[in-house]
Structure 1
Amino acid sequence: MKRKVLLIYTGGTIGMEKDYESGSLVPFDFSNIFKKIPEMKLIECEVSVHPFKKPLDSSDMGPNEWKIIANYIGKNYDQYDGFLILHGTDTMSYTASALSFMLKNLRKPVILTGSQLPIGDLRTDAKENLLTSLYYASLYENDEAVIQEVAVYFEYKLLRGNRTLKYSAEYFDAYQTPNYPVLGQSGVHLNVEKDFLWRPNPDSKFEVDDHISTDVLFWRIFPGMHLEHFSEIPKVKVLVLQVFGSGTIFNTEKTRKTLQQLRKNGTEIVVISQCVSGGISFGKYSNSNIFTKIGAISGNDITAESAITKAMHLLDNPNYSEPFSELFVQNMRGEVTGKFGV
């Protein structure tokens, strides 16, 4: 039985080719993808292509585009066995994280991939990324999808989407999940680490929840920073605060008063770490105790991309009855370590 995969092309380097008159990279007609990569026809799956009308650079991808993708997957969920999204690399981790929260109780693979070099380049990584992603997007055993989550495939590695971060703008091996194991690797064999895969509640039904609020601010602290700037910004409902190490910040009276005032103004403060690996541990050092006192939320070992999109999805979402602070610490799609992220 041939599996059916819907390929959604949003834009990015993978869909570019060089215009030899200008020397610039321009999008090519993605309906000709089978001519560019005839090997696609050799894979045991049927591929339907749905390109964005106007291909977008990944820096132009945001909440509106996330909603379009999520709802298009929802609309076609019953007609396809898997979904492959071709995306620019710079914001792929944001899109993968957002989709993981918007696609509830997912039981089919949603794979995102892209490339560092255009598909027409002699040394391109696009072909391998695209072809192997199709394999993962159509991988079934005993009539059940092996991958039942949003994942990123890049340079021989399958990674949990909401755990990824782009750490290289230069190398083909551009993505990491520092706080979670690799889900699979492609070599001579196509391997999957089944013990690390996410599984939804077996009694739940797939649905799309495309709620996204943009009333979220991200701020990275640094030595010598003037916290007075916080009092000058417009009121925001959620502040994702990226702090030092396992959760420390300047131990001053001004820090305490500034953060307390933010909380009095109704701002939820989510604390995440500037470290690539590891996470937040309130109370480990005395300079983290301020966050416990003001009722800040620990992001544990969540990535910045996942923290931002999770906050955007949960904030003022009418489909949840629990308070934001209780929802955020839950491990909803495998984005943090532990049952409730603690």
Structure 2
Amino acid sequence: MCAVKNLLVLYTGGTIGMLETPQGLAPAAGFEARMRSYLDAHPDSPRIAWTLRELSPLLDSANMQQANWLAMCDAIVEAVKQDGHDAILLLHGTDTLAYSAAALSFLLLGLDVPVVLTGSMLPAGAPDSDAWGNLCGALKLFEQGVENGVQLYFAGQLLHGARASKLRSEAFEAFAALPRQREGEKAGHIPAVLTYCQPRIPVNLAVLPIFPGLQAAHVKALVDSGVKGLLLECYGSGTGPSDDQALLDAFADARQQGVLIVAISQCPEGSVMFDTYAAGSRLRDSGLVSAGGMTREAALGKLFALLGAGLDLATAQHWFALDLCGERVA
């Protein structure tokens, strides 16, 4: 863990750099000048060499898509491998900040540099904004030295990129690592097909919560849409309607058609343990794969990284069950 010498600040948009427009706050270019002006006016700010690159188009993170994850990944790899940067600070909107941190955790496997994502709840320059505190806090981490891998820094907390979730829509302490049970087997190695060197393509993924009234027709409609990976949010420790044979058959049919169905718990504190209840066992037997205590963001990002690499169902399931970067094992 060494102090950073050549930091790239990758500005993707988000609240931190927004300015007021007639339609409301919107991402704005020119953040580098505003950032340098602030740091120059505050001599106690971290003194670290950095350059800034703006991704185009700048986004309100509510508009984040898989293609944007891939663009961020490409920009980071290019910055490290071609331009010699030894760390990345990625400025991002908060709505999908945890999703992007999780996705990049899997897309950048094997890239041995620190990547820290941050943003703010109020724009830089707004009264009492948290923007400069988050940005300078992240810069201080790089100045002191930070571990390789993807992490999320917010409100003084440094969180694992594949363990963070946004819990609050207004408070500055918006993000936390949910206290979910972590257990499983760590992968003995990361094959080349799962590293940052492997090109990815967009994947048709869906998230479906189990709720009273869920019907087999809902699952069939998703399968008919061409979905390749389905993240099923189960009750408690991984249960659902076990007496609805049509629904169980719909899961089994989806599996037969090559859909990877992964189960997480709906509970903020919880994990999937199918064998605890018979209802969970029946879901498992219909073809569901346990995500253990993974968050929605981590499970979705991992599905994207595996299926987007072109892995077949059996191979993707194999690697999904193993811990790749700390998402499953504490």
The CA deviation at 1:261 is 2.1
Q: Output one character per residue of 1:18-71: Cα deviation in whole Å (capped at 9) or x when no partner.
A: 45xx48334252131211343388423101011124321101222222112211
Correspondence 1:64 to 2:67: yes
Contact 2:275–2:281, Cα closer than 8 Å, also in 1: yes
Q: What are the equivalent positions in structure 2 for 1:31-46 lying under 5 Å apart?
A: 31-32=32-33, 33-38=35-40, 39=42, 42-46=45-49
Distance in 1 between residues matched to 2:272 and 2:16, nearest whole Å: 36
Identity %: 30
More RCO (CA 8 Å, sep 6+): 2
Contact 1:213–1:313, Cα closer than 8 Å, also in 2: no
Using structure 1 for the length normalisation, give the TM-score.
Answer: 0.83
Partner secondary structure for residue 77 of structure 1: helix
Q: What are the equivalent positions in structure 2 for 1:298-317 lying under 5 Å apart?
A: 298-315=290-307, 317=309
Aligned partner of 1:247 in structure 2 is 238
Q: Which amino acid aligns with 2:174?
A: A
Q: Output one character per residue of 1:235-284: Cα deviation in whole Å (capped at 9) or x when no partner.
A: 42221111100000012123322222222322221111101112100110
Contact 1:109–1:136, Cα closer than 8 Å, also in 2: no
Q: What are the equivalent positions in structure 2 for 1:166-205 lying under 5 Å apart?
A: 166-179=166-179
Structure 1 pair 156/88, CA: closer, same or farther in 2 (3 Å)? same
Q: Output one character per residue of 1:275-319: Cα deviation in whole Å (capped at 9) or x when no partner.
A: 111210011011101133223210101111111111111016257
Larger mean Cα displacement after TM superposition, 277-286 or 66-75: 66-75
**Gap regions ≥5 residues in structure 1:** 141-145, 182-197
Q: What are the equivalent positions in structure 2 for 1:130-141 lying under 5 Å apart?
A: 130-140=135-145
Q: Output one character per residue of 1:144-200: Cα deviation in whole Å (capped at 9) or x when no partner.
A: xx311100000010000111111111100000111379xxxxxxxxxxxxxxxx9x9
Contact 2:205–2:304, Cα closer than 8 Å, also in 1: yes
Distance in 1 between residues matched to 2:105 and 2:97, nearest whole Å: 12
Q: What are the equivalent positions in structure 2 for 1:143-162 lying under 5 Å apart?
A: 146-162=146-162
**Gap regions ≥5 residues in structure 2:** none
1:83 paired residue among 71, 75, 88: 88
Partner secondary structure for residue 106 of structure 1: coil
Aligned partner of 1:226 in structure 2 is 215
Using structure 2 for the length normalisation, give the TM-score.
Answer: 0.86
Aligned partner of 2:200 in structure 1 is 211
Q: How many residues align?
A: 315
Aligned partner of 1:123 in structure 2 is 128
Contact 1:137–1:147, Cα closer than 8 Å, also in 2: no
Distance in 1 between residues matched to 2:104 and 2:198, nearest whole Å: 9
Larger mean Cα displacement after TM superposition, 31-40 or 113-122: 31-40
Partner secondary structure for residue 170 of structure 2: coil
Q: Output one character per residue of 1:71-96: Cα deviation in whole Å (capped at 9) or x when no partner.
A: 12111215122110000000011111
Distance in 2 between residues matched to 1:255 and 1:330, nearest whole Å: 28
